[in-house]
């Protein structure tokens, strides 16, 4: 098990990689973000993006999936998130891109009222060209090591 006490400021965590296909981009966008540059390859070619791009909310969903899978591998005792400070979609994500996730631990502090602790982290996804496509700074909560909470 990885508890709140086990996260150290400055720690870098590799989250693994995933590929994104045109079919996935279209399926997500048709359900949740049906703007032409996400749902229609032809219209996307004529848009300022010059081709189909993934919804930013789809990119974030993939980052979440990598985070959940990594937490499971680490046995991290996560209990959700109260929110995010900032999210920036920095570069378009296109069909065939391979995205690699990484986390940097920025800050840690314990809850005063519950046996949990908070971690402020920066999660990023980098494409196969080494470009950061999305950066999310947010807070996640973890259980404290049994017996450690005051």
Binding interface with another protein (CB under 8 A): 28, 31-35, 37, 48, 55-57, 60-62, 64-65, 68, 78-89, 138
Closest contact distance (angstroms) between CB of 90 and another protein is: 8
Q: Which is nearer to another protein, 8 or 49 (CB)?
A: 49
The crossing angle, in degrees rounded to 10, of helices 22-32 and 56-74 is: 110
Asked if 149 and 9 touch (Cβ cutoff 8 Å), the reply is: no
Q: Which is nearer to another protein, 10 or 86 (CB)?
A: 86
Least gap, CB of 143 to another protein (angstroms)? 10
Q: Using the minimum distance from each CB to another protein, give the nearer residue, 48 or 150.
A: 48
Helix (H) or strand (E) holding 29: helix 22-32
CA 62 to chain CA centroid, nearest Å: 6
Supply the minimum distance, in Å, between the C-beta of residue 114 and another protein. Answer: 9
User: Cα–Cα distance between 137 and 93 in angstroms, integer?
Assistant: 19
């Amino acid at each position: 098990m990885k508890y709140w006490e086990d996260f150290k400021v400055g720690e870098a965590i590799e989250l693994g990689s995933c590929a994104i296909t045109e079919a996935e981009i279209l399926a997500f966008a048709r359900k949740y973000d049906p703007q032409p540059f996400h749902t229609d390859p032809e219209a996307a070619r004529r848009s300022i993006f010059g081709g189909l791009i993934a919804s930013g909310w789809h990119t974030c969903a993939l980052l979440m999936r990598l985070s959940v899978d990594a937490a499971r591998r680490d046995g991290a005792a996560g209990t959700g998130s109260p929110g995010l400070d900032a999210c920036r979609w920095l570069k378009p994500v296109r069909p065939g891109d391979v995205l690699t996730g990484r986390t940097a631990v920025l800050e840690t502090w314990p809850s005063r009222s519950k046996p949990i602790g908070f971690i402020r982290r920066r999660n990023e996804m980098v494409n196969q060209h080494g470009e950061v496509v999305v950066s999310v700074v947010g807070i996640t909560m973890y259980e404290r090591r049994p017996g450690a909470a005051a």
